Structure 1
Amino acid sequence: MADFMTETEHRSTGVSHIGAPGDRREGGDTGPGPLDGQEAAALLERTRALVDPELRAAVESLPGSMRRIARYHFGWEHADGTPAEGNAGKAIRPALVLAAAAALGGPAARAAAVRAAAAVELVHNFTLLHDDVMDRDPTRRHRPTAWTVFGDTDAILAGDALQALALRLLAEDPHPAAGRAAARLADCVVELCAGQHTDTDMERRAPDEVTLDEVLAMAEAKTGALLGCACALGALYAGAGPEEAAALDGFGRQAGLAFQLIDDVIGIWGDPRRTGKPAGADLAARKKSLPVVAALASGTPAAAELAVLYGKPYVSGDSEGIARTALAVEQAGGRDWAQAEAADRMARAMQELARAIPDPEAAGGLLALAEFVTRRSS
C-alpha cells in the first residue's frame, strides 16, 4: 500500500530535477536547492512539532500491547521498551495537509487542520506496518521492522489499530469539515487496499503479462492516493469548494506518481548505506516496479534478457546477478523512461496546483514540498 521513504545518492540513481525536465546541475548534484530545501525542511520540522503531540496522545490511548509496537514503529522506543531518539519519518503527508490548509485559508486554517494531519500520518503508518509484513522487508528507517521484532500477527494488529485511531481522531474533531474528511480518508484507505491487491496479484504473474498502464494505475492507487487525499483534506479544513479540493487532490496524486517513479529508481540503484535496505532489494524481490515494466515493454534485446532473469527466482547473496539485472533494466531504457515520466507527472501536478491556487506565493509551501519529494536525493 505504501510508498517507502528511501534514500540514495544521486550518483547511484541518476534522478534529475523533474520540475524542469533535463535540467542537471554540474557535478550531478540534484538535491533540493538551498532555498527550496530550507523551506521544505522548515515546513517538515514545524509539522513534526505540531503533529507529534497528537500522534503520541493517540498512541497512548491504545492497549499496552498495541502501544508498545506502535511506539517502536514510530521510533520512540527500542524493542525493550526503553526510550529512543528514532526516526519517525519525514512527515510529508501531514505537511501537505497543513500546507494546503494554509494556502487556502491562512494560519487559522492550518492550526485547525492539525488533527486531520495526524490522522493522515496514522493511516500512512498503518500501510507501512502492513506492507512490511506482506513484502517481508527486514528493515525500515535503518532498524528491524516491527514484524521481525514482534511477529506478523502483532504488527498487523498494530497497523489495524493505527487506522482506527485515524478515523477516531476525525470522528471526535468538532471542525465542520471533519465528517467529510473522515469519509474521504476512508475512501482513500479502500483505494490503497485495492492498489495493494493489484500489486500483489501482479507479482504472481509472468513479467510479460503486466502492462505499463496497469502498473501506473497501481502506483497512483498505492502512492498518489494518500498524497492527494492529504492535500484535499487541507483544502476541506480551509473551507474550499469541491473544485479546489479536486484540483489539490490531482496535484497530490501527480506529485505522488512522480515520487513513486523516483522511489522505484532508488529501489534498484539506491545506496544501501543510505536506504537502509540491501542493494537492488526490489530486483531481488522480482518486483514489477515502473522502471522494470517499462524496460520489459521496450522490445529491445536487453528486455529479452531481463525477462529471462526475472523469470528465475533470486538466489540469496547473488550480488552479481542483481548487478546484471540492474544493467539490463538500464540498457532497456527503464531508468531513462522513469525519469522522463516523473518530469511529465510533475508538470501535470503544477497544472493542477495552479487551478486551485493561482498565486504562486500562496502555494509556496506546497511547491516546496513537491520539490522536496521529487527532486530529493533522500
Structure 2
Amino acid sequence: MMPSTALHAPPAAPEILDRCRQLVAPALAEAIGGLHPWVGEMAGYALGRCEVGGAPVAHRQGKGVRQALAVLGAEAVRGSAEEGVPGAVAVELVHTFSLLHDDIMDGDALRRGRPAVWKAYGTGPAVLAGDALFALAVDTLTAAPSTSRSGAAVRQLTTALRDLVRGQADDLLFARRPWTGPDAVGVREYEVMAEHKTGALLGCALAVGARLAGARGETAAALDRAGRHLGVAFQIADDLLGIWGDPVVTGKPVHGDLRQGKKTLPVLAALAAPGHRALAELLASPGVLDDTAVRRAAALVEQAGGRSAALREARRHLAAADTLLAGASLAPRPAGDLRTVLSSLAHRTI
C-alpha cells in the first residue's frame, strides 16, 4: 500500500496549468468565436487551435501560463477560480497579440515549430488579427460581472500594456546601440526593459485575477510586483537558453542570440567585467558571426563571468518575488500552487 502522504501530494506545475487551462478554454473559445471568421481563424491558428484554413488541431497549444496566473491570483485572495476567468482570457489574448506583432518586428518566421501568423497569412492580416485580439481583451474585462471590479481590472491591463509597449520599444532601440562606450546598454537598463516587456504582463495576470476576485489595492499591487520580478527572472532564463540551451529542448538553434547580436543579460554582464576587450571586438565584427565565432563568443562570455552573473540576478529576482508573496497574506493552498508554477517557470536553467 502507498504511504498516505503520497495520496495527498501537492499537484505538480503541469497539473496546475492543465486545470486552469481547461477551466479557461470554453470562455477563450467563446471570445474568439465572436470575431470576424477570417480574423478568428488567424487567432485560432496563433493560439494553436487550428491550421491554416481552419482545420482543428489539438497538439500545438501553449502552456497557458498567464491564464493560470490569473486564475491562481483570484484563488489566492480567497476568491473563486471562475472569478479569475475573464482576466485569464484577457491576458491570454494580449499575450497572443504581442507575439503576433513581435514576430513581425523581429522578422521571426517560426513560432512553436510552424510558420508564424505573418508568414502563414501575410503581414497585414497578422497586424489586423493582433489589433482584434487587443480590442477583444479589453472588451472581455469590461463585460466582467462586477462593474467596480472590472474597472480596476481594465486599469491594471492598460497599465501593463503601456509598460509592454515601452519595453518593446527599448528592446528594439537597444539593437541600434553600441556594445561598449558611453552609449552602451547597461545591466540595470536591460533589467528595466525586461520588467516592462516580460514582467508587466505576468504581474498583470496575477493582479487582474485578484482584482476581479475583490482584492484590496495593496494586495493586487504586491502580486503585480511579484509577477514583474518573475518576468525579469524568466527573461534572464530565456537569455541563458538563447546562448547555452539545448536546441532539442528550446526549439531554437544553439548560440542563436549571439549569432543575431542580441543584447542579452549574460553578454552585457560580461562586457561590464574587466578584461572584456576580446569579446567586445568579436561582437563588433561586421556581418553575422559564423559557427566558430559564436562558439568563441559564448566561451568568452562565460570566462568573463556573464553566465554566473546572470544566474545571480535571476535568483535575486526570484527571491524578491517569493518575499512579496509571503507578505501578501494569501490563501495557503492557492499560494502553494502559485509558488509551484512560478518555480517551474524560472528554474528552467537556474
TM-score, normalised to structure 2, is 0.92
1:324 maps to 296
Matched, 1:128 2:99: yes
Counterpart of 1:285? 260
Aligned-partner residue type, residue 97 of structure 2? F
The one of 25, 45, 53 equivalent to 1:72 is 45
Aligned equivalents of 1:236, 1:281: Cα separation in 2: 39
Distance 1:142 1:70 in 2: 17
Aligned-partner residue type, residue 132 of structure 1: D
Aligned partners of 2:40, 2:267: CA distance in 1, in Å?
39
Report the residue type matching 2:167 in the other structure: G
Residue of structure 1 in register with 2:285 after alignment:
312
Q: Deviations over 1:195-234 (max 9, x none)?
A: 1101111110111211111101000001111111111112
* Paired position in structure 2 for 1:113: 84
Deviates more, 1:121-130 or 1:307-316: 307-316
Q: Determine which of 48, 51, 55 is the counterpart of 1:82.
A: 55
1:319-363 deviations in whole A, cap 9, x for unaligned?
A: 222212211211111111111111111111111111212665451
Q: Aligned partners of 1:212, 1:197: CA distance in 2, in Å?
A: 17
Match of 1:51 among 24, 33, 54: 24
Specify which of 206, 212, 217 is matched with residue 187 of structure 2: 212
Q: Which amino acid counterpart does residue 259 of structure 1 have in structure 2?
A: F
CA contact (8 A) 1:36 1:371 kept: no
1:295 and 2:267 aligned: no
Match of 1:91 in 2: 64
Q: Hey, what's the Cα distance between the residues in 1 that align with 2:349 and 2:308? A: 17
1:101 aligns with one of 57, 74, 98: 74
Map of 2:13 onto structure 1: 40
Residues of 1 paired with 2:253 and 2:124: CA distance?
25
Q: Residue 373 of structure 1 corresponds to which residue in structure 2? A: 345
Q: AA paired with 2:109?
A: P
1:376/1:115 CA distance change after superposition, 3 Å: same
Residue 376 (structure 1) shift: 2.7
Once the two structures are superposed, what CA deviation does each residue of 1:103-154 show, in whole Å capped at 9, x if it has no partner?
1124xx2211111111011111111111111111122212121112222222
Residue matched to 1:202: 174
How far residue 74 of structure 1 moved from its aligned partner, in angstroms, is 1.2
Aligned residue number for residue 162 of structure 2 = 190
> Quick one: structure 1 residues 330 and 360, their matched pair in 2 at CA, closer, same or farther if it must change by over 3 Å?
farther
Q: Give the 3 Å change call, closer, same or farther, for CA 75–275 of structure 1 in structure 2.
A: same
User: Which letter does structure 2 place at the counterpart of 1:147?
Assistant: W
8 Å CA contact 2:174, 2:185 repeated in 1: yes
Distance 1:314 1:264 in 2: 22
Structure with the bigger RCO (C-alpha within 8 Å, sep 6+) is 1
Q: Which residue of 1 aligns with 2:245?
A: 270
- What is the CA–CA distance in structure 1 between the aligned matches of 2:286 and 2:327, rounded to whole Å? 47
Q: Is 1:363 matched up with 2:338?
A: no
Q: What is the rounded CA distance, in whole Å, between the counterparts of 2:125 and 2:171 in structure 1?
A: 23
Once residues 314 and 86 of structure 1 are traced to their aligned partners in structure 2, the CA distance between those partners, rounded to angstroms, is 38
355-364 vs 157-166, which moves further? 355-364
Partner of 1:146: 117
Number of aligned residue pairs? 339
Q: Deviations over 1:81-107 (max 9, x none)?
A: 32222322111111111111111124x
Are the counterparts in 2 of residues 259 and 374 from structure 1 also a CA contact under 8 Å? yes
Give the SS at the match of 1:86: coil
Matches within 5 A, 1:347-362: 347-357=319-329, 360-362=332-334
Choose which of 240, 247, 253 in structure 1 pairs with 2:228: 253
1:207 counterpart SS class: coil
Contact 1:227/1:253, CA 8 A, preserved across alignment: yes
Checking the alignment, whether the CA contact within 8 Å between 1:72 and 1:79 is kept in structure 2 is yes
Taking structure 1 as the reference length, what is the TM-score of the superposition?
0.85
Runs of 4+ in 1 over 6 A off after TM superposition: none
CA contact (8 A) 1:139 1:276 kept: no
Question: Measured at CA, do residues 55 and 328 of structure 1 come closer, stay the same or move farther in structure 2, by a change above 3 Å?
Answer: same
Q: 1:54 and 1:66, CA in 2 relative to 1: closer, same or farther beyond 3 A?
A: same
Structure 2 contact 234–345 (Cα < 8 Å) conserved: yes
Q: What fraction of aligned residue pairs are identical, expressed as a percent?
A: 44
Distance, in Å, in 1 between the alignment partners of 2:287 and 2:329 is 48
Give, in whole Å, the separation in 2 of the partners of 1:36 and 1:269.
34
1:30 counterpart residue number: none
Change (3 A) 1:72 1:359: closer
RMSD value, Cα: 2.0
Unaligned runs of 5+ in 1: 1-34
Unaligned 5+ segments in structure 2 are 1-7
Paired AA for residue 342 in structure 2: A
